[in-house]
Structure 1
C-alpha cells in the first residue's frame, strides 16, 4: 500500500522530492508547536483559583466542555459531575471564567442561609427576557429601586401572604374545588351500567394537571366569573408550554417568535389572559387570595407601569402550579403501581387516620359507625387534611410523599456572591471551610444532594419510601440515619428562600391521593397486565420538579369505583 508521502509525490517514479520530504519532516515540529501553544493558551485562560476556594474541575473539552454538558443535561449535569468527582463542592471552568457548584447538602444549606449569596442579579438578568416588560418597566426593575422591590417581595410580601389565615383561606378554596371534582368523579353517568363504574384516564399527566390547575386557580383568583384560567381554558396548556421553554426564553435570543416559538406564543396567551384581571383590579374581590392581591398592590404602589403587571405576574401561577403538578403526578404513579399489599396499607392508614363519614348529615356516636356507613353507598365522605396530621396518622403515605420529592426534585438554586464569603459544611467529609469570591455565580444543586451515597446509601437511585421509616430508628450520623436524612433532604430549599407555599400544596396533594386510595381500584389502561412506570424527563435549570419524559402520550389509568363509594359526596376539612 502506498504511503501518504508517496501519494503526494510529484515525480512519476514515486520518488519523494526534496520539498515534500522537508514538509513531511516538519509535521512533528508543527504538532509540537501547536501543543505548546494550546497549553500556553489553556494556562493563560484558566481562571485563577485561591487555594481556599473549592477545587478547580476543568472540562474534558477545554473551555466549553462544562457549558456543553450543562445545556445538554441541565440539572442532571450536577448529579453526574457530583458522582464522578466525589467532591462536596467545586469550581467549574466556564470559558475563561468560573462558577461554583455545591453538591453537599450541608454546604447547600449554609449557602441558602447566607445573606451574601443573592438571586437579585439573576432576577435583573432575566426579567426582561422572560417577561418582555416595557422599556420603562425594565429600566425600573433593573435599577437599585427594583432590587429593593424584589427583596421586599421575596422576603416579606410573599411569606406574609401565605401564612395564617391567608394560607387557610387559599387552602379552603382549593379543597372546595377538589371536593366538586371528586364528587363528580364518584357519580359517573349511567348509574345502572357496570361499565360506568370504570373511569378511563388516557393520560394521567393531563388529568393531574387539569385537576390541580383548576383547584389552584380558584384559590388564587377567586370565583369562576373572574378566574383567568377558568375564563380562558387555553391558559392551562400555555402555562406548561411556557414552563417548558423557560430556559430558552431566558437566553434572550433575537426574534423569539422564531427562536422560541412555542414559549413566546404561550407567554402572549398568559399575559393576555391575565390582563383584564389586573386592569379591572379584580384582585380587590374579597375571595381573591392575599398572595395575588398583596403582590399587585406592591407592584402598583412602587410605580411599575400598569401594562407590565400582567406580564410580570405570569410567574405567579407558575410558582403555584408548575412544581405541585409533577409532584402529585409522580406520587400518584408510585402509589398506583405499588404492590397490592402496600396499597392496602396506605388505604388502611387513610381510613383510620383521615376519614370521617356523615350519612344524610346525621351524626353518629363513634368513628367506627361513621366509617361503616360508607359501605352502603351514597352519603358524605369527610376527610381531615393537613401536613401534620398526615405525618402523624399516615407514616407510610408520608414516606411515599417524601421519597417522591427526593427522587423528582432536581432544583438548582443559582445565586451570586455579593461579597467574599466563607462557607462551612458539616457533612461526612468534615467541616472544611471554602472561600467564595465576590462576583462569582454559585449553583447549589439540591437534586445532586438527594443522590449522594454518603447520606442515602447504595440504594440511593431506587424508589424506596421505607428509607424514611427506617431512618427514624437509626441513631448517630451514619448513612441512612435520621441525622443524615435531616441534613440531605431539602426539597423546599432553605433560609429566606424556603418555599412558603408548601403547606398549601401538601393539602391539595393529600386530598387527591387520599380520595383516589379510598374510593378507587386502579389498573393499567387498555387491559395491560403490568404497569410501565413513565420515564423522567430532563430536569430544567429553572424549575424544581422533573416532568415525565413524554407528557403528550402520558400514562393511562383505569379507575374502578370501589363497592359502596359510588355517588359519594366529598368534603375536605383542614386539620
Structure 2
C-alpha cells in the first residue's frame, strides 16, 4: 500500500514539475500574464462565477490590457473603450471565423465551409440577413411577427379570470419561442397537434440551451446526460423534409434554395437551420424578459412606455376594444416601432445591464497590435483577443449609477442619445450587446424588432404587476455567450385590459 502511495505521489510531483517547466512565460512586449491555478482551465472557474468582478479586479491589477489562460486558451483582454476598434481591426492576423466555426461545429454539427470550394454557400446565405431581415425588407417579417405574437400571447394566458398568476420567465419564454419559431420556420400545414409540439420543442430547447456552456467547452456528450437526444430532436424540427411541410419565411426559403444548389446533405442543412433557430432565441428571450421585468418594477418607466404606445394606437385609430369586437389584431409597422424612442431607450438599457458577451478574435500568426493611444502589445499565433463589453456597460464614468435601470438613459430631448464619454472624450462605441465589427450579429435588427413588438403587445393587452420585490440574480454560467437569463423565475399577476 505504501509503495502504491509513493508511486502516486511521484507521478503527481512529476506532472507538476513538467507543467511548471513547460508553463508559458511572458515575453518582451507581451501584456501582463496570469496563467491561473489550474492546468488547462487556468482562471476559468473564477471567471465563470463572476465575470464582471473578475475582469474588474484584473483591470485594477494590470490595467487595460492583460492576458489570462481561460479554458485552455490564452486570451488577451482589451478594456480601453477608445481602443475597441484599434485592437481588432487587423483582419489579416485576427480572424473571428476560427472561433465561430469551432463553436458551430461543436454546438450544432455544422460543416466548415470557410476556405473551401463551397464557401460561396456561406457567403450567399449570410447575405440574406441584409436582404430579408434589415431595413424595409424587414416590414413583411414584422407583420407576420405581430400576428404570431398576439396568437401566442392569448394562447398562453387564461383570460377568463379577472386576475391571473404566473411566472414571468416562463410567460415570456413560451410566447417568444412560439412567435419567433413560427415567424421564421412557419406553421405546420397539417399537424393538428402543432401547439403541443411547439411546447415540447420549447422544453427540449431549454434543456439543451441550459447545457450550452458545457457543450461548447467540449465536455464529452456522455457526461451531459440526455443533451444529445435534445440536440437530435431539435434538429429534426428543421430538417428539409420537415420544412417542406411548413409555411417558412422568405428568409428561410431562400436559404434552403442556396443549400440545395450547394448540394448540402439533409443533415448539413438541418444543422445550419438549428444554428439559426438557436441564434434567434437564445439572446432575444432573456433580453425581452429583462426589459419587461424592469418596466414592471419601475412604474414611472412603464407609464412612459405605455403613454408612447397609447399615443401610437390613437394616431392609427386602433384600440383593444376594436380588436375584441372585430376579431382583428393590433398592427404596428417597423417604422412606427423605430419611432418609439422611449421604448427603444428602455430596451437598450435592459441590454446594457444583461448582456455579457465576449467578442473574440483568434491570431493566425505572431503579431503586434496597436491601441488608440499609440502603444502596442504582442500576441502569439493561436492566442485570442477578447473584448468584454460588460465592463464598458457597467463603467460608472460612462454610465452614472450603472447598477440602476434608467429607462430614459438613452434619450436626449426626445431623440436617441449618443453622447457618452470616457476620460473626457466622446466614445464611438458605447453599447455593444450584439458584438462589434465584422462579427456583429447579422440578425440584430430582427431581434430588436421582436423585443419591441413583444413589449408593445403586452402593454396593449394587459395590466401586469410583479409579486416579488427581490430582483432575480443572473445566470452567470452563460457569461460570454450574450444576454444572461435569470437564475430563477419570479411571480407576477396579469389581467386583460
- TM-score category, normalised to shorter length: 0.7 to 0.9
Partner of 1:178: 149
Q: Secondary structure at the match of 1:220?
A: helix
Matches for 1:457-472 after TM superposition, within 5 Å: 457=400, 459-469=401-411
Give the conservation status (yes or no) of the 8 Å contact 2:168–2:492.
yes
1:346 and 2:305 matched? yes
Partner of 2:7: none
Following the alignment from structure 1 to structure 2, what is the Cα–Cα distance between the partners of residues 324 and 476?
A: 26
1:214 and 2:175 matched? no
Q: Secondary structure at the match of 1:488?
A: coil
Give the conservation status (yes or no) of the 8 Å contact 2:337–2:449.
no
1:511 and 2:457 matched? no
Normalised to the residue count of structure 1, the TM-score between the two structures is 0.71
The Cα of 1:403 is off from its aligned counterpart by: 0.8
Match of 2:356 among 410, 422, 432: 410
Deviations 1:370-400 (A, max 9, x none): 47995998466745343x64564443x3222
Following the alignment from structure 1 to structure 2, what is the Cα–Cα distance between the partners of residues 57 and 150?
A: 41
Deviations 1:111-141 (A, max 9, x none): 55542322332244344432357xxxx5xx3
Per the alignment, do residues 537 and 170 of structure 1 end up closer, same or farther by CA in structure 2, a change over 3 Å counting?
same
Matches for 1:60-75 after TM superposition, within 5 Å: 65-70=42-47, 72-73=48-49, 75=51
Give the conservation status (yes or no) of the 8 Å contact 2:320–2:460.
no
Partner of 1:108: 84
1:236 and 2:202 matched? yes
1:160 and 2:160 matched? no
Give the conservation status (yes or no) of the 8 Å contact 1:244–1:263.
no
Following the alignment from structure 1 to structure 2, what is the Cα–Cα distance between the partners of residues 181 and 127?
A: 30
Unaligned runs of at least 5 residues, structure 1: 1-33, 190-195, 357-366, 563-575
Give the conservation status (yes or no) of the 8 Å contact 1:112–1:494.
no
Deviations 1:329-353 (A, max 9, x none): 01110011113x443232222222x
Q: Secondary structure at the match of 1:456?
A: coil
CA RMSD in angstroms comes to 4.0
Per the alignment, do residues 85 and 184 of structure 1 end up closer, same or farther by CA in structure 2, a change over 3 Å counting?
same
Give the conservation status (yes or no) of the 8 Å contact 2:146–2:330.
no
Following the alignment from structure 2 to structure 1, what is the Cα–Cα distance between the partners of residues 212 and 277?
A: 14
The Cα of 1:298 is off from its aligned counterpart by: 3.2
Deviations 1:404-446 (A, max 9, x none): 00000101122212245554444xxx45343444332222222
Matches for 1:380-459 after TM superposition, within 5 Å: 382-386=330-334, 389-390=336-337, 392-395=339-342, 397-420=343-366, 422-426=368-372, 430-457=373-400, 459=401
Following the alignment from structure 1 to structure 2, what is the Cα–Cα distance between the partners of residues 510 and 142?
A: 35
Partner of 1:5: none
1:85 and 2:85 matched? no
Give the conservation status (yes or no) of the 8 Å contact 1:76–1:539.
no
The Cα of 1:546 is off from its aligned counterpart by: 0.1
1:493 and 2:493 matched? no
Per the alignment, do residues 115 and 267 of structure 1 end up closer, same or farther by CA in structure 2, a change over 3 Å counting?
same
Matches for 1:493-572 after TM superposition, within 5 Å: 493-525=435-467, 531-541=469-479, 543-550=481-488, 554-562=489-497
Match of 2:225 among 255, 261, 276: 261
Stretch moving more, 500-509 or 123-132: 123-132
Give the conservation status (yes or no) of the 8 Å contact 1:210–1:236.
yes
The Cα of 1:534 is off from its aligned counterpart by: 1.7
Partner of 1:9: none
Give the conservation status (yes or no) of the 8 Å contact 1:213–1:236.
yes
Following the alignment from structure 2 to structure 1, what is the Cα–Cα distance between the partners of residues 199 and 417?
A: 49
Matches for 1:214-363 after TM superposition, within 5 Å: 214-225=178-189, 230=195, 231-254=197-220, 256=221, 258-275=222-239, 278-279=240-241, 282=244, 287-339=247-299, 341-352=300-311, 354-356=312-314
Following the alignment from structure 2 to structure 1, what is the Cα–Cα distance between the partners of residues 190 and 384?
A: 41
Deviations 1:143-186 (A, max 9, x none): 74178358526753444342356533322211111233456689
Following the alignment from structure 1 to structure 2, what is the Cα–Cα distance between the partners of residues 125 and 518?
A: 43
Partner of 1:205: 169
Stretch moving more, 175-184 or 312-321: 175-184
The count of residues paired between Structure 1 and Structure 2 equals 479
Per the alignment, do residues 247 and 61 of structure 1 end up closer, same or farther by CA in structure 2, a change over 3 Å counting?
closer
Unaligned runs of at least 5 residues, structure 2: 1-12
Per the alignment, do residues 505 and 159 of structure 1 end up closer, same or farther by CA in structure 2, a change over 3 Å counting?
same
The Cα of 1:236 is off from its aligned counterpart by: 1.1
Deviations 1:450-477 (A, max 9, x none): 22344224x2233233433369899986
Per the alignment, do residues 79 and 155 of structure 1 end up closer, same or farther by CA in structure 2, a change over 3 Å counting?
farther
Following the alignment from structure 1 to structure 2, what is the Cα–Cα distance between the partners of residues 513 and 480?
A: 36
Q: Secondary structure at the match of 1:535?
A: coil
Deviations 1:211-264 (A, max 9, x none): 11111112112233279975553211112222221222224444x2x3011422
Following the alignment from structure 1 to structure 2, what is the Cα–Cα distance between the partners of residues 186 and 305?
A: 40
The Cα of 1:319 is off from its aligned counterpart by: 0.8
